[in-house]
């Protein structure tokens, strides 16, 4: 297949490019580098089955020759306001990528009679009143809060994708991605795994906000990509959660990273700096992924961190 992947230079987009190329497909990567990193694609420069178009997806998308599939992954994704890549610092670009970008990407799929896969997010559940979150849960979202630029862009993108499926008959898929980590995350991404690993490698105490009992469910990137690939090959048109159902508190994560890096500095607690309606708990219900895709994560937190820490060691040397 000939496949267009938007957001190709991003953390997840670049891993998707690798996977589809490994499966024998031709891949066209698209990115404007607002948050994507050219280094994430540098290893593909000599691959004859890979080509790249530098483009902002919020503008009309033109791809020469027919494509068989479109995967729309272009969007800022970090919620951290201290990161230059955080969507609260790129609010208009984030909404354009989710709204206009999705419209344009769906247009390519429709024009080519191609399969379409939307990268959605657990953030569409907002501050959930249901735990764990099932795909049938409508969410509890603040439409004007600081995080709404991302949450509402993705909710709109899901609605638009379903409209193209129902009205135009586009062959669509929607993946709701939960917290994912691994190599190729930005050093200053601002999310907890990169922050903790870098503090630990510098032998600094790891900064925990609040009491550290807030939870996340961390999925290693290889597991996530496997789930997305299986969804792409499936016939499922309705949203599917892909993530790790094992919940960890921030304290548990910090202590594990300190243990794996041999960091003796411990933890330091600071006042809670959560932005807006940042949820206290996040955990996917992956029943549908297990039933439809026969998928569940295989990589433990310990193993995933052991694969991720060397990447940050190298990246910090070159920063």
Question: Structure pTM?
Answer: 0.95
Cβ-contact 33, 40 below 8 angstroms: no
Question: Which of these CATH numbers, 3.40.50.300, 3.60.20.10, 3.20.20.70, 3.40.50.720, describes 2-185+219-245+283-299?
Answer: 3.40.50.720
More confident residue, 282 or 299: 299
Average pLDDT over residues 233-261: 97
Confidence band of 273 (pLDDT split at 50, 70, 90): low
Report long-range pairs for 23-28 (Cβ below 8 Å, ≥24 apart).
Answer: 23/229, 25/1, 25/49, 26/1, 26/2, 26/50, 27/3, 27/51, 28/2, 28/3, 28/4, 28/52, 28/53, 28/63, 28/67
Q: Nearest Cα to 159, choosing from 247, 232, 96, 239?
A: 239
The yes-or-no verdict on residue 272 having pLDDT over 90 is no
Domain boundaries, the chain: 2-185+219-245+283-299
Q: Which residues are catalytic?
A: 150
Which pair of structure tokens corresponds to residue 52? 């790249």
Cβ-contact 50, 17 below 8 angstroms: yes
């Amino acid at each position: 297949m000939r496949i267009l992947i938007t957001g190709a230079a991003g953390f997840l987009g670049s891993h998707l490019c690798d996977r589809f190329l490994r499966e024998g497909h031709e891949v066209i990567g698209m990115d404007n580098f607002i948050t994507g990193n050219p280094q994430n694609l540098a290893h593909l420069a000599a691959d004859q089955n890979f080509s790249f178009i530098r483009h902002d997806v919020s503008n009309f998308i033109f791809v020469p020759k027919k494509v068989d599939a479109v995967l729309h992954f272009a969007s800022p994704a970090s919620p951290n306001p201290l990161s230059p890549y955080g969507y609260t610092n790129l609010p208009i670009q984030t909404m354009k990528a989710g709204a206009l970008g999705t419209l344009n990407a769906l247009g390519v799929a429709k024009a080519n009679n191609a399969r379409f896969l939307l990268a959605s997010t657990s953030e569409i559940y907002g501050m959930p009143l249901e735990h764990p979150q099932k795909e049938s849960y409508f969410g509890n979202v603040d439409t004007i809060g600081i995080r709404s630029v991302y949450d509402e862009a993705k909710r709109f993108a899901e609605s638009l994708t379903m409209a193209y499926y129902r009205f135009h008959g586009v062959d669509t898929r929607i993946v709701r991605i939960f917290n994912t980590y691994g190599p190729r995350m930005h050093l200053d991404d601002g999310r907890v795994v990169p922050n903790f690993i870098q503090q630990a490698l510098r032998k600094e105490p790891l900064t925990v906000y609040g009491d550290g009992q807030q939870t996340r469910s961390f999925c290693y990137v290889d597991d996530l990509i496997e789930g997305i690939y299986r969804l792409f090959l499936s016939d499922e048109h309705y949203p599917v959660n892909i993530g790790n159902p094992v919940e960890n508190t921030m304290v548990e994560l910090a202590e594990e990273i300190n243990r794996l890096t041999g960091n003796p500095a411990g933890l330091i607690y600071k006042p809670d700096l959560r932005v807006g309606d940042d949820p206290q708990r996040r955990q996917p219900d992956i029943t549908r992924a297990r039933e439809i895709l026969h998928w569940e994560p295989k990589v433990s937190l310990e193993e995933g961190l052991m694969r991720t820490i060397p990447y940050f060691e190298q990246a910090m040397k070159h920063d």
